[in-house]
Structure 1
């Protein structure tokens, strides 16, 4: 259930790769479906208004990154569409937002808590540096491995506590980053297979996305966790004041 929105994205991409949508371009149809799914999730109570705000923020963050990366030639969206901005379909931001949606859903369903959170200053500065590195590594050296080392250092004492029915478990937050990053990499392979977007080495024929992309998703997941964790912190403080 926590993966409902990501499944909607990849399911729509898979279906539209087999059956062409009537009366509109594929990218436009995918955007329309995802807007409808988000509306239904909100109306049914599967997502709260605060979670919708987080998803919206992450959609914007992802869309800005997509526009920049497509401009730099990192990947492309080869199909036409009316809802493309600077060569990027607007639905693409939802692929990033789906990570935030998953984080919000799983946080609530598994009644998650964290111990040893480093604080918004340390976490926020690290998240900002990670996001900036996605842009700057085209012009200056890539600091992803230095940032990864910083992640392990900053979050070394941070553990996730989660509940499954009556049992309580915990794991290091950095391990959770890696696990989620791995599954996003698997989803990325599915999306590129169904021509959701295309990397330069996939122009002639589809091939597996390089495993080094797991490190990129590992770092990107951290940004979503920081945003969601801060939302939960603010909301908890708001509830206590009532």
Structure 2
């Protein structure tokens, strides 16, 4: 009975920490859904409002120390990388998806708030990394992971003109990370799971969020122009590769800590949501 109680308590804390890590992404999804059904501001396009709201929420999180400056740096990097890809994917020649509403804050066919959608993934990874004190075992050499994600990013562009190498890249990914374990601390003890499986869970969550966003008319795929329908499960492969790219980008900022490394936490890493002390 005691073990069950401990499991339930730890699972509860795990859920609270995950919700805290998802704060920025959850805020964006909430704004998207609310403004789909109710948007009373005349003279300001809905997309521009989402862009300004995202900036204000970021400022709020920094001022109230819900986010560190290192995590803000990750968000900026993601915004830049994502915007370049968005410009290509939404160009008149490619049109992988499009943004159906008007906007002022944007470049070409891309409203500027879109970078924050990718930044929400980076924000989640950077924050969850800190609050769960991520450690790793059997992590491949970092240079191999950098080469891998460069191939991922290039393939996002080149598969429109050449062979789509995503399955080759995924096979290499499984080869490199098959034995890698991620160790995360919920309360006191580090638990572990295969890193490949952890990426799949997050990719699945992003797929659910993508369905909410397209339903809210944030962007539309070609098959959704006439009427909304669920995003095909096949898109999970794209989100899995995005998770790989996102993860390695965060490692370049945070570094990789082996499980056996016993280092004192940096001051910024000691920040925990105050409400967790209630539990």
* Normalised TM-score (structure 1): 0.94
What's the CA shift for 1:167?
3.4
2:52 to 27, 32, 37: 32
Indicate the residue corresponding to 1:112 in structure 2. 134
CA shift, 1:175, in A, is: 0.8
Q: Does 1:214 align with 2:252?
A: no
Deviations 1:139-197 (A, max 9, x none): 00101111000100111222100011133211111111111111100000000000010
1:212 aligned counterpart, secondary structure: helix
Secondary structure at 1:170 match in 2:
strand
Change (3 A) 1:234 1:48: farther
Kindly report which structure 2 residues correspond to 1:219-234, keeping only aligned pairs within 5 A, or say none. 219-233=241-255
Residues 103-149 of structure 1: per-residue CA shift (max 9 Å, x gap)? 01111111111122212210000010001100000000101111000
Structure 1 ranges of 4+ moved more than 4 A: none
Segments of 5+ residues of structure 2 without an aligned counterpart are 1-19, 258-262, 267-279
Pair member with larger Rg = 2
Rounded Cα–Cα distance in structure 2 between residues aligned with 1:216 and 1:21: 35
Normalising by structure 2, we get a TM-score of 0.82
User: Which of 145, 163, 181 is residue 141 of structure 1 equivalent to?
Assistant: 163
What is the rounded CA distance, in whole Å, between the counterparts of 2:82 and 2:193 in structure 1?
27
Give, in whole Å, the separation in 2 of the partners of 1:158 and 1:16. Answer: 42
How much does 1:231 deviate? 1.3
In 1, Cα distance between equivalents of 2:156 and 2:50: 26
Q: Distance in 1 between matches of 2:252 and 2:110?
A: 29
Partners of 1:129 and 1:143 in 2: CA distance = 9
Output the CA distance in 1 between the equivalents of 2:109 and 2:220.
13
Residue 49 of structure 1 corresponds to 69
Say which SS state the counterpart of residue 21 (structure 2) adopts: coil
Q: Assess if the C-alpha contact under 8 Å between 1:184 and 1:217 holds in 2.
A: yes
**Residue aligned with 1:82, SS:** coil
| Total equivalences in the alignment | 237
Instruction: Report the alpha carbon displacement of residue 21 of structure 1 after superposing the two structures with TM.
Output: 4.4
1:5 to 4, 24, 28: 24
Query: Considering only aligned residues, what root-mean-square deviation do their CA atoms show, in Å?
Result: 1.4
Q: Which residue of 1 aligns with 2:173?
A: 151
2:36 is matched with which residue?
A: 17
Cα distance in 1 for residues equivalent to 2:98 and 2:192: 39
CA distance in 1, matches of 2:40, 2:196: 41
- C-alpha deviation, 1:230, in angstroms: 2.2
Deviation at 1:234, TM superposition (A): 8.2
